[in-house]
Structure 1
Amino acid sequence: MSRVWNFSAGPAALPQSVLEQAQRELLDWNGSGASVMELSHRGKLFMGLAAQAEADIRELADIPADYAVLFLQGGATQHFAQIPMNLAGEGDTADYIVTGHWGEKAASEAAPYVKVKIAAHSRDEGYMRLPERASWQLDPRAAFVHYTPNETIHGVEFHAVPEVGDVPLVADMSSDIFSRPLDVRRFGLIYAGAQKNIGPSGLVVMIVRRDLLDRATRPMAKIFRYAEHAANDSMLNTPNTWGWYLAGLTFKWMKEQGGLAAMATHNDAKAAKLYEAIDSSNGYYRNPVALESRSRMNVPFTLHDSKLDPLFLQESEAAGLLALKGHKAVGGMRASLYNAVPLDAVKALVAFMQDFAARHG
């Protein structure tokens, strides 16, 4: 079997050593004689796994004790609605900073549960740049401020945490969590679908300030209330045990690589190499995003002639470069460079792009 270079936007590449360990342990995990997927989440073995995963994530991101770490389900999309259910009461407003497709969707899904105010957006620029901070219209009485630090489809990224005063800052970090050092104390709540930088799809990791769990919002079933999940160590119902296990292995892998500072160095090098290839191609390839807003995680690019797109995709796949087709909303190509994508993958992509341009110029 030959492994390909995986540039998928998600579900995305996992570290090869993590996959190999999971393969070795699939039939007999931790000497139990059974797969981790077959064991009770209430049993001593899995409870130990869960505790270790939380300890590792707390160490990685320097998460203080006054923040709860939750391992949830539903994907980030479910939490677009569930977050306002938990953080906003009847009649409350929330500010949304909309910088792409996922910010739009978060605001739309929140609307039944909170009065959504679009405090800033870059829709008029086609989401090709971030809105100037001075233009944001924030309400100091808002229940929270929501933003998407990295937009996977449009390829824009905040390179610093925005200052929003005393209002809790909520971040959908699905596509950039743990890609660089993280100051958790700047946030009220961080959530992320696991399938890009943490593990497989079906798991959501949430880091939430404990005082926000005490907000009196509205009547709801226990399963929707984050405070109930925190009180039950994320085991209010049967969790995604496989996803939790793989996330735990990935946390250990990140620690072995040198932690989040090492992840940042790794990711910066990959993005710089790919952007350099695009910018030095004399217009053969083009990235449409404003320089100061470019994402390190998701790099969209177009060819000088869109008629070559099908051929580029056909030849790149034959060369072992997987999932380079851009999202239908923007077209073209997209290379996702999450933590588990090695620099060698980017080197292979750049070499292919240069060869393709030479042959089809």
Structure 2
Amino acid sequence: MSKRAHNFCAGPAALPTAVLERARAEMLDYQGRGLSVMEMSHRSDEYTAIAEKAERDLRELLAVPDNYKVLFLQGGASQQFAEIPLNLLPENGVADYVDTGIWSRKAIEEAQRYGRINVAASAKAYDYQAIPAQAEWQLSHDAAYVHLASNETIGGVQFDWLPDVGDVPLVVDMSSDILSRTIDVSRYGLIYAGAQKNIGPSGLVVVIVREDLLGRARSACPTMLNYKVSADNGSMYNTPATYSWYLSGLVFEWLKEQGGVAGMEARNRQKKERLYGFIDNSAFYSNPIAPSARSWMNVPFRLADERLDKAFLEGADARGLLNLKGHRSVGGMRASIYNATGPEAVEALIDYMTEFEKERG
């Protein structure tokens, strides 16, 4: 087998090698059936078993309470920006949104097409390098829900606390940090996550929604976007993203073998502390994010001289350290260290950063 590179891509992101190897082994002949999962009817007994096991494993990993539905949908997290207000925001109602970066702003812009949106707090005053304390938030007294992004992949800003919004449903985009550390699902009304970071390949979005929030969709909500329709049909109102769902199930099995979410949290804590610690102790590299808001999953950093960025990236690529270029909107570098990017990848990156600093610093 050819050597695997260390992939720091923000998404589609690295997948566990063991998962890819198993998928390869089952590619042409799934468990003796003589066909690929990609060729299976989603109504077949074989595929139904795959889908049901994936849901059971995810429920176990996150300790999802029985009064929540787990949906495996299409359209990615960005489609949820419209699907959420269509399902949860009454025609004349208001929803509260917290702006902490590009993805939460995209959610706000889309939701404004469907109703009144109150931006209860914004990190703009902090140059999107910190999260406003809840004392600064201006929540509505009658909000249908409160929306936030738990982790901003582009800016590298993450909540390390959970806001108190009373009985109002808390709706959270967890696309880039779901399954990376333990959470209490019962504290949320709805969690959604695009798959291509910590769950599986692109083409799938997971929605975990409390049952009492189903059946509230507007009459104009498209059938395909109605959560209750999806829940009533086991996420199979139409043909789902079968192969992405299957691969995500393999990732859930792999996560259980790694000690579950608690095991991943310990490993991820080690990775982020090692990388941030190195950056903070260097005069050549820097990270601008307030320590309390630093992302565990996406670590942006800058070189002391941005004219060296190209050489840094070329050297990294030559060493199999891939996709370190920062998002075009912020520049610099970004190392995404999701679950499948192990401690050895972080150590290889630090070794290269040390070498580059000695040569160019």
Please classify the TM superposition score into its range, dividing by the shorter chain length. over 0.9
The amino acid across from 1:312 in the alignment is F
Contact 1:189-1:209 within 8 A present in 2 as well: yes
Is the CA contact 2:50–2:246 (under 8 Å) kept in the aligned structure 1?
yes
Q: Which moved more, 1:340-349 or 1:110-119?
A: 110-119
- Are 2:118 and 2:140, in contact at CA under 8 Å, matched by a contact in 1? no
For residue 233 of structure 1, what is the aligned residue in structure 2?
A: 234
> How far off its partner does 1:114 sit?
2.0
Name the Cα RMSD after superposition. Answer: 0.8
* Greater mean alpha carbon deviation, residues 303-312 or residues 218-227: 218-227
d(CA) in 1 for partners of 2:84 and 2:276?
A: 35
> Aligned residue for 2:302?
302
Query: What's the offset of the Cα at 1:182?
Result: 1.5
Farther-moved stretch of structure 1 (218-227 vs 153-162): 218-227
Q: 1:47, 1:9 → 2: CA distance?
A: 31
Q: Name the structure 2 match of 1:33.
A: 34
Answer yes or no: is 1:342 the counterpart of 2:322: no
CA apart distance, 1:17: 0.3
Determine if contact 2:82/2:110 at 8 Å carries over to the other structure.
yes
In structure 2, the partner of 1:15 is: 16
- What CA distance in whole angstroms lies between the structure 1 residues aligned with 2:103 and 2:9? 17
- Percent identity over the alignment is 55
Q: Given that residues 174 and 193 in structure 2 are in contact (C-alpha distance below 8 angstroms), is that contact kept between their aligned partners in structure 1?
A: yes
1:319 equivalent in structure 2? 319
Could you tell me which residue of structure 2 aligns to residue 162 of structure 1? 163
Counterpart of 1:292 in structure 2 is: 292
Q: 1:161 offset after TM fit, Å?
A: 1.7
Count of residue correspondences? 360
Correspondences of 1:248-267 after superposition (within 5 Å): 248-267=249-268
Q: Deviations over 1:182-210 (max 9, x none)?
A: 21000000000000000000100010001
Measured after TM superposition, the shift of residue 216 of structure 1 is: 4.9
- Structure 1: runs of 5+ lacking an equivalent: none
Q: How does 1:1-361 map to 2 (within 5 A)?
A: 1-281=2-282, 283-361=283-361
Deviation at 1:160, TM superposition (A): 2.0
- Does the CA-based 8 Å contact 1:89-1:218 persist in structure 2? no
State the Cα distance separating 1:312 from its structure 2 match: 0.2
Cα deviation, residue 214, structure 1 = 2.2
Shift of residue 348, structure 1, vs aligned partner: 0.2
Alpha-carbon shift at residue 224 of structure 1 (Å)? 1.4
Code of the residue aligned with 1:245 in structure 2: it is Y
Shift of 1:218: 3.1
Instruction: Give 1:259 shift.
Output: 0.7
SS of residue in 2 equivalent to 1:214: coil
Q: String of CA shifts for 1:62-105, please: whole Å, max 9, x gaps.
A: 11111000000001001101110000111111000110000000
Query: Any idea what SS the aligned residue of 1:299 has?
Result: strand
The whole-number CA distance in structure 2 between the counterparts of 1:298 and 1:216 is 34
Task: Calculate the TM-score normalised by the size of structure 1.
Answer: 0.99
| CA displacement, residues 105-136 of structure 1 (integer Å, 9 cap, x when unaligned) | 00001111121110001112210000111000
2:307 partner amino acid: K
Letter in 2 for 1:125: Y
Alpha-carbon distance in 1 for matches of 2:25, 2:47: 18
Paired with 1:177 and 1:32, the residues of 2 have a C-alpha distance of 33
Gaps of 5+ in 2: none
Distance across 1 between alignment mates of 2:32 and 2:185: 36
Provide the rounded CA distance (Å) in 1 between the counterparts of 2:99 and 2:50: 37
The residue type equivalent to 1:334 in the other structure is R
Q: For residue 30 of structure 1, report the CA deviation from its aligned partner.
A: 2.0
